[in-house]
Amino acid sequence: MHLGLDGKIALVTAASKGLGFAAALALAREGVQIAICSRSEQNIHNAASQIRELTGESVLPIVADVTRPEDVARSVQETVDHFGGLHILVCNSGGPPAGTFESLEEAQWQQALDSTLFSTTRLIRSALPHLRGWGRIIVITSTSVKQPIPGLLLSNTIRAGIVGLCKTLSQEFAPYGITVNNVAPGSFDTDRLRMLHERQARAAGISLEEARRQAEARIPLGRLGRPEELAHAIVFLASEAASYITGQTLIVDGGQTLGI
């Protein structure tokens, strides 16, 4: 299959580790010039060096917090200034805090909105002028958009709105040659998931290993996802091969979500 990604330019946010890093690495392996951002200067520079070493591609590290509107606009501008354009935007951010309705405070709602929904709308607003003609927008969401996850009320609530946003933009941006899709990961072996398993283990009075074992037992394929397995779905949606796919949610979860 011809992916047609060689020489394209991408910005992947929240990409010093985990799913964002895997997406950036997989795109770079296909010859994409990559800008990546995260809040920690040391982590994002380390990530960029790693991708450069593994792929030989040019990688631009940007220190930016996607909850801050000025950082979002600067990330897009620095990418365009450095590489001379932007074709692919992968919107990722830190996950919203875990908790139930009664345990979550107003400030955490705002934090979650800034981190997930508003980081996405702001990134898209800044990137839009550069994506016109040939563009790909891919948002990393969660299976919570199809099936609420116990204890993740903010993800369950806000990410559904992001899917509404993506579907609407797929209509509004189609005349510009821009596709808009989201990938919905199930349970991937990252620091974020480890943190959630630690929380579950504490609540249930079991070990971390037991919490992980129980999580794996709920997945039909019998194991957590490897970050590169989500990244491959992102590469496909970013590619020329996915030119007729827009407004979709691609669930990547080892069979965990039962809705049809």
Ligand X SMILES: NC(=O)c1ccc[n+]([C@@H]2O[C@H](COP(=O)([O-])OP(=O)(O)OC[C@H]3O[C@@H](n4cnc5c(N)ncnc54)[C@H](OP(=O)(O)O)[C@@H]3O)[C@@H](O)[C@H]2O)c1
Applying CB under 6 A, the residues found at the interface with ligand X are 14-20, 37-40, 43, 65-67, 92-95, 115, 140, 142, 185, 187-188, 190-193
Q: Which helix (H) or strand (E) holds 215?
A: helix 208-217
Q: Which long-range contacts (CB under 8 A, 24 or more apart) does 255-260 make?
A: 255/219, 255/220, 255/221, 256/143, 256/186, 256/187, 256/218, 256/219, 256/220, 257/143, 257/146, 257/147, 257/184, 257/186, 258/147, 259/146, 259/147
- Residue 29 Cβ, how far from ligand X at the closest point, in Å? 18
Tell me how long the chain is.
260
How far apart are the two ends of the chain, measured CA to CA in Å? 28
Output the six-digit token pair for 210: 């037991």
- Residue 192 Cβ, how far from ligand X at the closest point, in Å? 3
- Residue 171 Cβ, how far from ligand X at the closest point, in Å? 25
- Residue 141 Cβ, how far from ligand X at the closest point, in Å? 7
Residue whose CB is less far from ligand X, 193 or 234? 193
Residue whose CB is less far from ligand X, 63 or 241? 63
Residue whose CB is less far from ligand X, 149 or 241? 149
- Residue 176 Cβ, how far from ligand X at the closest point, in Å? 27
Residue whose CB is less far from ligand X, 14 or 128? 14
Contacts of 190 (CB under 8 A, 6+ apart): 17, 18, 19, 227
CA distance 154 to 13: 20
Residue whose CB is less far from ligand X, 74 or 134? 74
Q: Which residues pair with 225 in a beta bridge?
A: 188
